[in-house]
Chains A and B, each alone.
Chain A
Amino acid sequence: MKDEHIIISLREGKIQKAVKGLYSAFPLINQNVSKNSGSKEDAEDLFQDALVILYKKVKDPEFKLSSSLSTFLFGIAKNLWYQELKRRNKVLEPEIFEEDFSESDLYKQAEEAFKLLGDKCREILILFYYAGKSMSEIAKIMSFSNERVAKTQKYRCIEKAKLNFNQLNQPSL
């Protein structure tokens, strides 16, 4: 698949089609991660994170590709993995990147807090915010008795996430 086609697929939200074209970049990323003290699981997680960033980039109409898509994806992955290693306090030679793909600290912590939620909570919130499902649809999908219950559940989940966040940021005793 040509890069232009992959970009079109991504812009149209045809994730599967795009992934089919982009997956060829994975072996190289995997190689890089395993060379730098990472596991296969790390590489897979990293690959997905890189895809999300690529997706967001591509969604920008101003986006212009300066290299091949797989090179670009590899660049993102390398960048992200560097930050991850830094977070893990692995000693690294300083490396300069053209672009910083790292997120704000607040976001990172919010994501951590979010990940601590139960499966059900994560699902409700993803269905609502990401998939754009209505509360009645969510009630159906998740077999809540009605829309009202689903809505209440959703707010509880947000509150739980906030609680998780606060707990993460409390100075340890």
Chain B
Amino acid sequence: MSSRTEIIEKYLLGDLNESELIEFEALMKSDPELKSEVELQREMMNAALKLGLKAEFGTAIKQLKFKQKLIKGAWIGLALMCVMGTGYFMYNKFSTEDSVKTSVKPEALPDSSYQTFEIEDKDTIFETQGGVVVAIEAGTFKSNKWPVKIKYSEALTPLEIMEAGYSTVSGKSLLETGGMFSIEAISEGKSVSFNKPVRLHVPTEKVSKDMLLFEGKMSEKGIIDWVNPKPLSNQLQTVDLSTLDFYPEPYLPKLKSLKIEHTNKAFTDSLYYTFSGYRNYTQAPAVETKKSKERDILTFSRDKNYDYEFKNDGTIVVYDRYQNFTYNFKSLDEAYKYSLKHNKPLMNPGTLEMRVSGEYDIAAPDFPSDSSSIEYEIDPSRIRAIKDKRFQKTLIATKAFEERIRFIHTTCNPVLLDAYVDHLEWKMYEIDSLCETMTQGKVKQQFRQFKLRREGGVPISDRLSRRLKSYFDVKWNAYAEASRKVWNKTRLELVQARGNVNQIQAQINQEDRIRHNSNLREEYCLNIENACKQLKTENIYCEGKFPSMNYYAVNVVGPGTYNLDKYVIDATKKRSSLRYETEDGRVAEITYTGMEVSINGCENYKSLKVYLIPEKLSSFQRVLEKSSGVYYEKLNMAMKYDLVVIAKKGDQYVSATIKSVPTGKMSIDLIPINREDLNNQLNEFSIFGKQLERDLIQFEKLEIAQKKMQELEAIAAKRKEIAWSIFPCMNRQEMSVVTATDLKLK
């Protein structure tokens, strides 16, 4: 039997081969019963065809009718802004010419057709008779007298609309209605304007994407024309990604305050992206601790993985931000035991102990190194990855997401950003809800607020969503890696610049020390020779080797003189005058007299250097600044000194030389001189010339190195300033050692 039906079907569908067909047709001729069965089966096929088609028409009609009805279930949000006493329509454009227009003045409606609600100035939600939920935020209406009366009327079904006598015309076209309503706020008998949107949730069985919100305009003839249609789909509207601002909120204001170009988006973007990895090169955030305002919580603190609440009753709540898991402990003891038993870093006894003992400002606890996989804050590379044009037309490219990302920045938790990128195919409020479950406290509340807006998504296939997700992971890691390299390079640069400065400075100091020591020895010899001459005694102190300056090499040679060298050493070191009298009345005097030189207009000069060139010694002597522009030194009266002053005014050298400098006060002017003439001038001082020139060159080198270092440091400091605006959880005390040369700061 089965094969018979099968063969007939094959015959009817033309699936028999040639020989089978011949055989079958022969069989039909001889068997009238088979023939009629074939006919019947053919008609069955036709019936299937017809009924299938009919069913399709039926479905299409049903769908069309659905659109014209208001049905219960899904939510549509409408925003009415600053319009008073105006009716609103939700309509589909339906058909034109051949439709009948109806219109009646809505004014003619008796007051009884209005529903009235009284509201206070606080968040209010009420439901109308027709099941429309009206949400009015506090501050929507300005009024001196509360409650404010809300006058509301609605026509949600075609019957109601006809009874209310509203027209369903927009220009010349007839509209398909999703319901109409009029809302007006009345205070002290007057209409009040709307300061904030009022949300209406209109029940419907099926959300039509084509629904628009029309505004009612009364024509002179008293006919309402519905104008100014706006889409109301709870699907999110995507906008051009490049117009969205995904920066942390304080970023642009910070640039503005630092007088950095903040309006050039290409620049601010690239500047922002250079901060990728910044947090990895600074220390892990130190534990932030603050006294909780809540009474039952003694202290609240957080470190890189966990939030701790130490309550007054001795219990401890540890919340793992990344695993979204909360541990409750009855006591510190219990926490310790758990920590030891499970080897959980969160239970680091040190961490807990310090919290409890009241030392709140401690460094980050010693966590295992594998915590490096956890990031803090929203790395700019992540933002860069989602700013890619591939994310156009996804829920990333929406104003709603902009709002969320700006909030996520303040949480410092990249997991929340990932939640959105990982679920592009979801509705916005579903992801909000996910984030709500992952967070705590104020953050949780904010995500709850987001969720309650019930914002929809942007349609996207699962496949595309998955592709974008993996694109995001690959891309932001690549950006971060590239940025890491730049960081390494720039960090090295600053370290090198600092090293250079230190090295040159050290060399200068070293040479100064050598000069100072050799001068001291020479001057000691000079002084002791002088003293011996005055005492008419043999100089036995300064032959061949000079005595060390660090200890007293005293040779006792005769009565009355054996302390001489000590006194002379002291006098020489202190550059103070000495009068030495022996028991037999001989006197030796060594005299130091002050010389003070003030440089006129010293504030105009930089790298001011004052040298004394002692006639009888082999190295110059550096004169130190006593006060601004005033240089003071005591001169040994046993010899003459020349004075050389060199400084720079901008890039111009200025100098002055005084031969046989007098003691006492004097002031001098510096005269501009070019580098070559300066060299010639210095060469006049024979061996000292070379020394002075070398000193000059050393300082020139130092100046260049310092300039470079200062530049880099200035950039680093500025970047640190900016970084604080980018990474809200970054500790203010944190040292940042990095900089970037690609940043052109003015």
Scan residues 38-59 of chain B and give those whose CB is less than 8 A from a CB of chain A: 39-41, 43-58
- The number of chain A residues with a CB under 8 A from chain B is 41
Interface pair A126/B40, CB less than 8 Å apart? no
Interface pair A107/B47, CB less than 8 Å apart? yes
Given known contacts A158-B9, A159-B1, A15 and B60 CB-to-CB distance under 8 angstroms:
yes
A131 CB contacts on chain B under 8 angstroms? 52
Interface pair B53/A52, CB less than 8 Å apart? yes
Q: Can you name the residue of chain A whose Cβ is closest to the Cβ of B56?
A: A15
Interface pair A129/B48, CB less than 8 Å apart? yes
**Of B41, B45, B48, most A-chain CB atoms within 10 Å:** B48
Contact with B along A45-57 (1 / 0, CB 8 A): 0011101100100
B5 CB contacts on chain A under 8 angstroms? 155, 158-159, 162
Question: In this assembly, does A77 line the interface, its C-beta being within 8 Å of a C-beta of chain B?
Answer: no
Interface pair A130/B44, CB less than 8 Å apart? no
Q: Can you name the residue of chain B whose Cβ is closest to the Cβ of A23?
A: B64
A40 to chain B, nearest CB (A): 12
Question: In this assembly, does A114 line the interface, its C-beta being within 8 Å of a C-beta of chain B?
Answer: yes
B95 in complex: contacting residue of A1, A19, A47, A130, CB < 8 Å: A1
Question: In this assembly, does A115 line the interface, its C-beta being within 8 Å of a C-beta of chain B?
Answer: yes
B611 to chain A, nearest CB (A): 98
Is the contact region of chain B dominated by helix, strand, or loop, or is it mixed? Answer: helix
A10 to chain B, nearest CB (A): 10
Question: In this assembly, does A111 line the interface, its C-beta being within 8 Å of a C-beta of chain B?
Answer: yes
Query: How distant is the Cα of A114 from the Cα of B57 in the complex, in angstroms?
Result: 18
Q: Can you name the residue of chain B whose Cβ is closest to the Cβ of A128?
A: B48
Contact with B along A97-123 (1 / 0, CB 8 A): 000000010110111011100000010
B33 to chain A, nearest CB (A): 12
A165 in complex: contacting residue of B40, B49, B57, B99, CB < 8 Å: B40
Question: In this assembly, does B18 line the interface, its C-beta being within 8 Å of a C-beta of chain A?
Answer: no
Query: How distant is the Cα of A115 from the Cα of B52 in the complex, in angstroms?
Result: 11
Given known contacts A48-B57, A155-B6, A126 and B41 CB-to-CB distance under 8 angstroms:
no
Question: In this assembly, does A150 line the interface, its C-beta being within 8 Å of a C-beta of chain B?
Answer: no
Interface pair B64/A24, CB less than 8 Å apart? no
Query: How distant is the Cα of A104 from the Cα of B39 in the complex, in angstroms?
Result: 12
Interface pair A110/B64, CB less than 8 Å apart? no
B320 to chain A, nearest CB (A): 43
B299 to chain A, nearest CB (A): 59
Interface pair A23/B53, CB less than 8 Å apart? no
A159 CB contacts on chain B under 8 angstroms? 1-2, 5
Interface size class for chain B?
20 to 34
Query: How distant is the Cα of A112 from the Cα of B103 in the complex, in angstroms?
Result: 47
Scan residues 28-80 of chain A and give those whose CB is less than 8 A from a CB of chain B: 44, 47-49, 51-52, 55
Interface pair B46/A110, CB less than 8 Å apart? yes
**Of B37, B46, B51, most A-chain CB atoms within 10 Å:** B51
Interface pair B57/A125, CB less than 8 Å apart? no
Question: In this assembly, does B684 line the interface, its C-beta being within 8 Å of a C-beta of chain A?
Answer: no
Question: In this assembly, does B557 line the interface, its C-beta being within 8 Å of a C-beta of chain A?
Answer: no
Interface pair B1/A24, CB less than 8 Å apart? no
Interface pair A48/B43, CB less than 8 Å apart? no
Interface pair A130/B6, CB less than 8 Å apart? no
B2 CB contacts on chain A under 8 angstroms? 152, 155-156, 159
Interface pair B64/A52, CB less than 8 Å apart? no
B52 CB contacts on chain A under 8 angstroms? 126, 129-131
A162 CB contacts on chain B under 8 angstroms? 5, 37, 40-41, 44
Interface pair B54/A125, CB less than 8 Å apart? no
Given known contacts A114-B47, A158-B44, A52 and B57 CB-to-CB distance under 8 angstroms:
yes
Question: In this assembly, does A88 line the interface, its C-beta being within 8 Å of a C-beta of chain B?
Answer: no
Scan residues 8-30 of chain A and give those whose CB is less than 8 A from a CB of chain B: 15-16, 18-21, 23-24, 26
Given known contacts A106-B43, A155-B5, A162-B44, A129 and B57 CB-to-CB distance under 8 angstroms:
no
Question: In this assembly, does A139 line the interface, its C-beta being within 8 Å of a C-beta of chain B?
Answer: no
Q: Can you name the residue of chain B whose Cβ is closest to the Cβ of A130?
A: B52
Query: How distant is the Cα of A125 from the Cα of B49 in the complex, in angstroms?
Result: 9
Q: Can you name the residue of chain A whose Cβ is closest to the Cβ of B36?
A: A106
B41 CB contacts on chain A under 8 angstroms? 158, 162
Q: Can you name the residue of chain A whose Cβ is closest to the Cβ of B61?
A: A19
B57 CB contacts on chain A under 8 angstroms? 15, 19, 48, 51-52, 55
B61 in complex: contacting residue of A47, A106, A110, CB < 8 Å: A47
B46 CB contacts on chain A under 8 angstroms? 107, 110
Interface pair A126/B51, CB less than 8 Å apart? yes
Given known contacts A52-B54, A122-B51, A161-B44, A16 and B60 CB-to-CB distance under 8 angstroms:
yes
Given known contacts A19-B61, A110-B47, A129-B45, A55 and B39 CB-to-CB distance under 8 angstroms:
no
Is the contact region of chain A dominated by helix, strand, or loop, or is it mixed? Answer: helix
Given known contacts A16-B63, A19-B64, A155-B6, A106 and B51 CB-to-CB distance under 8 angstroms:
no
Query: How distant is the Cα of A24 from the Cα of B174 in the complex, in angstroms?
Result: 13
Interface pair A130/B53, CB less than 8 Å apart? yes
A104 CB contacts on chain B under 8 angstroms? 43
Query: How distant is the Cα of A1 from the Cα of B94 in the complex, in angstroms?
Result: 10
Scan residues 423-444 of chain B and give those whose CB is less than 8 A from a CB of chain A: none
Query: How distant is the Cα of A44 from the Cα of B55 in the complex, in angstroms?
Result: 12
Scan residues 139-165 of chain A and give those whose CB is less than 8 A from a CB of chain B: 152, 155-156, 158-159, 161-162, 165
A1 CB contacts on chain B under 8 angstroms? 95
Query: How distant is the Cα of A109 from the Cα of B46 in the complex, in angstroms?
Result: 12
A48 CB contacts on chain B under 8 angstroms? 54, 57-58, 61
Q: Can you name the residue of chain B whose Cβ is closest to the Cβ of A1?
A: B95
A18 CB contacts on chain B under 8 angstroms? 60
Q: Can you name the residue of chain B whose Cβ is closest to the Cβ of A129?
A: B48
Question: In this assembly, does B98 line the interface, its C-beta being within 8 Å of a C-beta of chain A?
Answer: yes
Query: How distant is the Cα of A113 from the Cα of B51 in the complex, in angstroms?
Result: 12
Query: How distant is the Cα of A129 from the Cα of B43 in the complex, in angstroms?
Result: 12
Given known contacts A44-B61, A106-B40, A110-B43, A115 and B48 CB-to-CB distance under 8 angstroms:
no
Interface pair B55/A126, CB less than 8 Å apart? yes
Interface pair A125/B95, CB less than 8 Å apart? no
A44 to chain B, nearest CB (A): 7
**Of A24, A48, A131, A156, most B-chain CB atoms within 10 Å:** A48
B498 to chain A, nearest CB (A): 71
B403 to chain A, nearest CB (A): 37
Query: How distant is the Cα of A156 from the Cα of B5 in the complex, in angstroms?
Result: 9
Interface pair B6/A107, CB less than 8 Å apart? no
Query: How distant is the Cα of A15 from the Cα of B59 in the complex, in angstroms?
Result: 9
Q: Can you name the residue of chain B whose Cβ is closest to the Cβ of A131?
A: B52
Scan residues 293-348 of chain B and give those whose CB is less than 8 A from a CB of chain A: none
A158 to chain B, nearest CB (A): 5
A141 to chain B, nearest CB (A): 14
A111 CB contacts on chain B under 8 angstroms? 43, 47, 50-51
A6 to chain B, nearest CB (A): 12
Interface pair B6/A129, CB less than 8 Å apart? no
Query: How distant is the Cα of A110 from the Cα of B9 in the complex, in angstroms?
Result: 16
Query: How distant is the Cα of A76 from the Cα of B494 in the complex, in angstroms?
Result: 90
Query: How distant is the Cα of A123 from the Cα of B148 in the complex, in angstroms?
Result: 58
Q: Can you name the residue of chain B whose Cβ is closest to the Cβ of A125?
A: B48
B647 to chain A, nearest CB (A): 90
Query: How distant is the Cα of A130 from the Cα of B60 in the complex, in angstroms?
Result: 16
Query: How distant is the Cα of A48 from the Cα of B53 in the complex, in angstroms?
Result: 9
A103 to chain B, nearest CB (A): 9
Scan residues 57-76 of chain B and give those whose CB is less than 8 A from a CB of chain A: 57-58, 60-61, 63-64
Interface pair A130/B39, CB less than 8 Å apart? no
Interface pair A23/B61, CB less than 8 Å apart? yes
Interface pair A49/B43, CB less than 8 Å apart? no
Query: How distant is the Cα of A19 from the Cα of B50 in the complex, in angstroms?
Result: 17
Closest 7 pairs between A and B when the two form their complex, measured CB to CB: A130-B52, A110-B43, A19-B60, A114-B47, A129-B48, A126-B52, A125-B48
Can you list 7 A-B pairs with a CB-CB distance of less than 8 A?
A26-B61, A44-B58, A52-B54, A106-B39, A129-B49, A156-B2, A158-B5
Residues of chain B having any CB pair with chain A under 8 Å: 1-2, 5-6, 9, 37, 39-41, 43-58, 60-61, 63-64, 95, 98-99
**What 18 additional pairs, Cβ within 8 angstroms, besides A52-B54, A159-B2?**
A15-B57, A16-B64, A19-B61, A20-B60, A26-B61, A49-B54, A104-B43, A109-B43, A114-B48, A114-B51, A115-B51, A126-B51, A126-B55, A155-B2, A155-B6, A155-B9, A159-B5, A161-B44
